[in-house]
Amino acid sequence: MIDIRLIRENPELVKENIRKKFQDEKLALVDEVRKLDEEYRALRTKADELRSQRNTMSKQIGALMSQGKKEEAEEVKATVKKIGDEITECEEKEPQLEEQIRERMLVIPNIIDASVPVGKDDSENVEIEQFGTKRTFDFDIPYHTDIMEALDGIDLDSARKTSGNGFYYLTGDIARLHSAILAYARDYMVNKGFTYCIPPFMIRSEVVTGVMSFKEMENMMYKIEGEDLYLIGTSEHSMIGRFIDTINDEAKLPLTLTSYSPCFRKEVGAHGIEERGVYRIHQFEKQEMIVICKPEESMDWYNKMWRYSVDLFLSMNIPVRTLECCSGDLADLKVKSCDVEAWSPRQQKYFEVCSCSNLGDAQSRRLKIRVKGAEGNYLPHTLNNTVVAPPRMLIAFLENNYNQDGSIDIPEVLQPYMGGQKKIEKK
């Protein structure tokens, strides 16, 4: 959510930002907010003037009564009551206008950074850089679930019976590898100075609307029937929600946190949920990184965070690239975002495994997260990035560490988490 002062002082900037995101249907919201805001401020001014008038006249009543001017005092009392009724009317209308303004402000997209390329959708995202050496294979690499099934590592058919499409059972060494990657990612971030957290896996609606756009919410979140609770789609939602309505000490910034959680996603509109694989699924586990920092430091942290993911994947023999998200592909709260994509030697293309985002002060404004600085309170910036999200990233891991005999090499960094095991082989 943007600062309403932008709409008051520079509505054309806000409209141009909407055009860059190809959301012209939202242009009218800017004028609606301006009109409602003017009405709201005029109403508050009127109410303040009426309160001042009532206070002055109330004092007159006592003076008139002490002078024995009862009739005049009663007339003033009647006027004071009438003023009180007008104040009540104003006070009843104020929250209605506030809510109408907030409803519209929640839909108006955040101001994107000037460096973001303008484009309609993800097809116009821009490659920034490639990292790592692509391994050359002189044999065919099987589909990822065929690799896992050959190693007795996955059971999709049973999961379909118990839960439906988009679920899985991981077993044996593949399940152990899954956990090993998460444990390695956790320690990797702790060694970078991040504090490890395990958050609640369900959050209330006020947190949901504070951390994401309505479109994302509808497409992602599972609602707990009969309760004001949602299953988290990523631990970032719960982690940022932890600071709702707080005033934080500036000396403690930046807050650098890394969190583990299961994630639950409806994947509405996603293609491939019926596919025999684990690329798009309803349930997975993830290690996330979250930073809350001073506004002037957020871009530096943004660049550090995506680089952490790049280096992590390279340490597991997985070549990656970074892809700048264009304006039309940015979620409404994001100022700037890039994807880290892993190389698939089987498909001879990259696919997304991490997403790094700078959200500016949008989440802080929605959730009333403040920092106490030397010159008063201000809104910090929030950022998030995927560390790893198996089992999707297992696709890249298995393909890039695959051997012709069907075995999987375990990179040196993961061997301590696999009990010293150097290969996964057919039993």
pLDDT at 270: 53
256 with 387, same domain: the answer is yes
pLDDT tens digits for 233-278? 999 999 999 999 999 999 999 999 999 999 999 875 555 545 678 8
Cα–Cα distance for residue pair 242/411, rounded to 1 Å: 36
- Three-state DSSP state, 202: strand
In the block, which residue shows the tokens 């929030």? 382
310 with 379, same domain: the answer is yes
Query: E strands of 265-319, at which residues?
Result: 283-293
71 with 126, same domain: the answer is no
- Supply the pTM of this predicted model: 0.90
pLDDT at 269: 54
Contact in structure between 136 and 401 (CB atoms under 8 Å): no
Identify the CATH number of the domain in which residue 137 sits. 3.30.930.10
Q: For the CA atoms of the chain, what is the radius of gyration? A: 28
43 with 180, same domain: the answer is no
- Regions of the chain where pLDDT drops below 50: 273
The total domain count for the chain is: 2
75 with 141, same domain: the answer is no
Contact in structure between 257 and 195 (CB atoms under 8 Å): yes
Contacts of 116 (CB under 8 A, 6+ apart): 20, 324, 325, 326, 327, 330, 335, 336
27 lies in a domain? Answer: yes
91 with 139, same domain: the answer is no
**Amino acid letter at 347?**
Q
pLDDT tens digits for 365-393? 999 999 999 999 999 999 999 999 998 89
User: What six digits make up the tokens of 282?
Assistant: 């309803």
pLDDT at 272: 52
95 with 132, same domain: the answer is no
260 with 359, same domain: the answer is yes
Domain boundary at 61, 76, 105, which? Answer: 105
117 lies in a domain? Answer: no
111 lies in a domain? Answer: no
167 with 89, same domain: the answer is no
30 with 174, same domain: the answer is no
377 lies in a domain? Answer: yes
299 with 350, same domain: the answer is yes
322 lies in a domain? Answer: yes
Cα–Cα distance for residue pair 355/351, rounded to 1 Å: 11
286 with 237, same domain: the answer is yes
Contacts of 228 (CB under 8 A, 6+ apart): 204, 205
Domain range spanning residue 191? 122-424
